[in-house]
Structure 1
Amino acid sequence: MKTAMLALVFVLTFGSFPIHALAMSPEEQSIYDLNVDRFNNGTRDNDKDVDLNNPSAYYGGDFVGVKERLNHIKEMKFTTVILGNVWQASNFMGEDTESYIEVNDHYGTEEELISLVEKMQEEKLIAVADFPIDRLGEGHPLRKAHETTADGQWTTIDEALVAAMAKEIVASVEKYGWDGIRLTNTQHWDAASLESLIDLMKKEADQLIVMTLEQTEANNVDIIQNDALTQTFHDTFIQFNSGVSLYDDMQTIDRRTQLQVDRIDQLRMTYEMVELRMFPPTRWKTALTALFMLPGVPTVSYGTEIAMNGETVEEGLQMMNFKTEMELKDYIGNLNTLRNDSETIRNGEFELLHNEDDFTVFARYSDDEHWIVVINNSDDTKKFSIPKERFGEEKVKLRGVLNQDLIRLTKDDQYNIIQDRERVEVYYVEEDKGYNIPYLIASIMVYVAFILFLYVVLKNSRKNRAANR
């Protein structure tokens, strides 16, 4: 309800309307990254090798289950969903992948996967799957035709292998209707070979969005990975007073870069927060605000909305609990609503206004909109003043859209921002027309009319009681 109200207020106030995900460029997307086996069990028909007490075993999630819970993702306003490795493999992590066509029978059938992808597209969600391009299983057609080392790594990545792989992946795209693919196990591919593979695939599927799980120097990837930036995000928000700052890097960032606090193949940051005796919901709200308001592609691992925990990577990939407290779900939805509805937040200019002692203020602006984002990642109350000249001659006010804060111009021509410890706010800058007198009069009239109504009702009630004595 809160998310829907925020969206309504934003649209009515700022005249902005959501854009279809497929109409957005790749760098405008927001991504929800899940593992099919650990998301939702929709049917018992494919429950084999299931052991909920063994983090290395299958848990029973399937294509039917993901399809049943797409609304959960939609409510958080994500535009893109990565389903992970859905192919026949040796385990739920997708190791030793045997095919780009044959689906993992623990997850369901080819028909069920096609139905899921179709439903995602019907719901205006971009469907993405993982395609490992190295260390494939011995039964994979490419492995049979090209030489590898004992552990499955290609001995030579030549034109023949690149062409054959492009053909196999394109066949999968055509069969299942993928909008995008994420290439994994790319570490041993040089940039030129990876660029050739992507060029060949896009020659046959020119609208295909291509991303990689690992960082690469290939320059034709649509959404790119930056390992150092992910680590800096992690180190900045793992605790308050971290002394680490990621914001200087944002002024020159490639807008195609994924912004992540943790990854689905890494240790959950919630675990580390707890180890440091931090309060995860507060830590996550601080981190997520930066994630969605900074330039780049926000990417969130499934389970973040419930602060999923785990001492190891596998233990951190728990079966999603849809019955637990989901305070962060609404918060993510609010942030995504702002980002989806604002061209400026997605593509506008970025300017760092203040960044000192774990207190950061930055602007996202364009000719049409101006936003001020405040992130206090410290354990003290902080203050920062923005001079009137920042916003030109026109008198404005800063209206907080997350916590309903309101800042007006002071007598000394400053906009004074005061932020409590571990608090964030996103301010929309709008013309300050003073108090809305007609609105105030109307509100008073409604209040007076209600009082008069109660008076008449009570008076008539007393008369009726007196007449009946």
Structure 2
Amino acid sequence: MKKSIIALILIPLLFLTVLPASGTAAKEERIWQDESIYYLLIDRYSNRDNSNDYDVDVRNPERFHGGDFKGIIDRLDHIEDLGFTTIALSPVFANGKDGYHGYWVEDFYETEEQFGSIDEFKKLVKEAHDRDIKVMIDFPINHVGTSHPWVNDPDKAEWFIDKEPIETEDNMNKDWLNGLPALNQDHPEVKEYLIDAANWWIDETNIDGYRIEGVQLASQNFVTEFVSAVKATKKDFYVLGDVWSNDPNEIAQFESTGIDSFADYPSVAAMRDSFKEPDVAMTETLADLETNLDTYENPYMMARFLDNQDMVRFTRDMIELNQHPGPRWRNALTYLFTVPGIPIVYYASEIAVDGGETPDNRKQMDFRTDKELIEYLGQLSSVREQLPSLTRGTIEVLHEEDGFTVFKREYEEETSVVVINNTSGTKDIILTADQLEANKELRGLLAGDLVKSNPDEEYHIVLDREEAEIYVLTDKAGFNLTYGITLLAVLFAFFLFLFLAKRRGMRNNKD
């Protein structure tokens, strides 16, 4: 019993005696480039209220499956454990038959009844905010559903325009939007209606952002006015633009609209190719990163992702090559979370769900699954939140060879080093004093690795195959004199107490 008590006292004190001076920057107020976003389709996430399952057929991938606001509320613990700071939702508005994805809007002022009431949506936003998680939603500005009351109203004929069929790049599928009535956003009443509705949702529910699908389809004058209006309604309101292009210069043309950030479609293909199997050079992926830094006004606000609701799932790439998804996803996510940009993860990626073309890429979330990747993603999110250098710092590639990649991020007094060994063998590298400040140590925050500067002022890093580590550069740990004296004083007092207690016990026995 006494030994147990002594151990309980000693363990925390021993940690204090070797506590190093921190090499991390001071914690600052969170800004949007610090966020990480979890994007989910409401209907496919979690069904926790069967009373609103009015037209559900889970066997049909093109019908409602029953996901609702209550389901998301009940799964906030899961999202919080993953470490995401923002939830992005598919459109919440009332939709036409089989509009499970939310883009066949019938009423911009009503929630889809199969998702739940507006009061339940408000509860979702509040409970997310209570956990310091922001909420944003898709706001369709280009189309309405074919069953919208405006479509058959002769007084609103001028509210619509004829548009050519939607054309996208090879890695995107937007066919489910073709044939929808296209809104004339330059019509004064249409413009006023959409802006008023967008501001109403902000005022009514306190959401934090909008995602706009198909920015290139819209009137650019309207987009500029829309963005200006919603930003005037709520401080720090965020607008993410989806421009369906693999050309960075084409996307950059829309920066003048005031949109905060854009979906980084041009980087997706190279990232997927780099991580879907081992021993693949990162040359093109790193070149895309350099292009972003050179092209966009604020490349740190680009929204980076590996797949979304309009792409074949990233897991499918691995399966087609007979690769195990776990290591592939871990390394890809490590890269996604440590380079400049806002990471967006599509729901069910944390369980490496498989899926082909739309709608097969929109399967129901399964919460009864292996937790290994879930835990890794949570750990990765935590490290990203701890280190401002990973969201705000400069980036310098120190090494790249056939999937073994090392880069450095620096912000104020903080330096982090990211090492990704996406190869089939153990790799090592020596970083010199020209690359990293000498006489310090690299502390691994994912696997706990520790690398100290040697007498030659070098850091020798060794990493197993298909593993990654994020290091922070800190002062070398040593014995802390103040805590050492405190420890000795506590131990002396403790043993004095035992000695006096024992003497008292002996006296009592004699009496």
For Structure 1 versus Structure 2, the TM-score category normalised by the shorter chain is 0.7 to 0.9
CA contact (8 A) 1:163 1:197 kept: no
- 1:248 paired to 2:287: yes
Counterparts of 2:324 and 2:289, CA distance in 1 = 27
> 1:316: how far off?
2.8
Distance (whole Å) between structure 1 residues aligned to residue 345 and residue 112 of structure 2:
24
In the TM superposition, what are the counterparts of 1:17-36 in structure 2 within 5 Å? 23-36=29-42
Matched AA of 1:43: D
Q: 1:408: how far off? A: 2.1
Q: Which amino acid aligns with 2:86?
A: T
Match of 1:170 among 199, 210, 234: 199
1:83–1:157 Cα change, 3 Å: closer
Contact preservation (8 Å) 1:192, 1:218: no
Q: Counterpart in 2 of 1:423?
A: 467
SS at match of 1:391: coil
TM-score after normalising by structure 1:
0.84
Contact 2:145–2:181 (CA<8 Å) still a contact in 1?
no
- Could you list the per-position Cα deviations for residues 312-342 of structure 1 after superposition, in whole angstroms to 9, with x for gaps in the alignment? 3322322222221121111111111111122
Q: Give the Cα separation in 2 of the matches to 1:10 and 1:132.
A: 52
**Is the CA contact (8 Å cut-off) linking 1:179 and 1:208 kept in structure 2?**
yes
Correspondence for 1:123? 131
Structure 1 residue aligned with 2:90: 84
Partners of 2:67 and 2:115 within 8 A in 1: yes
User: Secondary structure of the residue that 2:267 maps to in structure 1?
Assistant: helix
CA 1:10–1:310 in 2, change beyond 3 Å: closer, same or farther?
farther
Q: For residues 367 and 453 of structure 2, what CA distance do their matches in structure 1 show?
A: 45
AA of the residue aligned to 2:445: V
Q: Which amino acid aligns with 1:49?
A: D
Q: Which residue of 2 aligns with 1:287?
A: 332
Who is 1:356 aligned against?
Answer: 401
**Which of 79, 103, 112 is the matching residue for 1:104?**
112
Query: Are residues 1:114 and 2:122 paired?
Result: yes
Q: CA RMSD in A?
A: 3.0
Give me the whole-angstrom Cα distance separating, in 1, the residues matched to 2:145 and 2:138: 15
Equivalent residue number for residue 136 of structure 1:
144
Q: Secondary structure at the match of 1:289?
A: helix
- Give the match for residue 186 of structure 2: 158
**Residue of structure 2 equivalent to 1:330:** 375
Instruction: State the match for 1:6 in structure 2.
Output: none
Write the letter of the residue equivalent to 2:101. M
Contact 2:272 2:306 in 1 (8 A): yes
1:59-70 alignment, distance < 5 Å:
59-70=65-76
**1:43-62 superposed matches below 5 A:** 43-62=49-68
1:242 is aligned with what amino acid?
A: V
**Could you tell me which amino acid in structure 2 is paired with residue 273 of structure 1?**
M
**SS of equivalent to 2:139:** strand
Q: Please say if residues 143 and 183 of structure 2, whose CA atoms lie closer than 8 Å, have aligned partners that are also in contact.
A: no
* Shift, 1:232, TM fit: 2.2
**CA shift digits 1:280-334 (9 cap, x unpaired):** 0100000010011111101111111111112333223222222211211111111
TM-score (norm 2): 0.78
**Secondary structure, in 3 states, of the residue corresponding to 2:83?**
coil
Higher deviation after alignment, 401-410 or 128-137: 401-410
Go from structure 1 to structure 2 and tell me whether the alpha carbon gap of 1:435 and 1:420 turns closer, same or farther (over 3 Å shift): farther
Alignment equivalent of 1:399, drawn from 443, 453, 462: 443
Partner letter of residue 122 of structure 2? I
* Aligned-pair identity (%): 28
Q: Is 1:209 equivalent to 2:238 in the alignment?
A: yes
Equivalent residues of 1:364, 1:372 under 8 A apart:
yes
Check conservation: 1:32, 1:302, Cα contact below 8 A: yes
Q: How far apart, CA to CA, are the structure 1 residues paired with 2:21 and 2:429?
A: 30
What are the residue-to-residue correspondences of 1:309-458 with 2, within 5 Å?
A: 309-392=354-437, 394-433=438-477
Q: 1:121 to 1:141 in 2, by over 3 A?
A: farther
1:462 corresponds to: none
CA distance 1:142–1:168, change in 2 (3 Å): farther
Runs (5+) with no aligned partner, structure 2: 1-17, 164-178, 245-250, 294-298, 492-511
* Offset of residue 87 of structure 1: 1.3
Q: Distance in 2 between matches of 1:305 and 1:328?
A: 6
Residue number among 56, 71, 78 corresponding to 1:72 in the alignment: 78
| Contact 1:30 1:78 (8 Å CA) reproduced | yes
Deviations 1:218-277 (A, max 9, x none): 211112112111222222212222334312333453111011111133211112211111
Give 1:368 deviation, angstroms.
Answer: 1.9
| Secondary structure in structure 2 of the residue aligned to 1:337 | helix
Q: 2-side partners of 1:60 and 1:10: how far apart?
A: 51
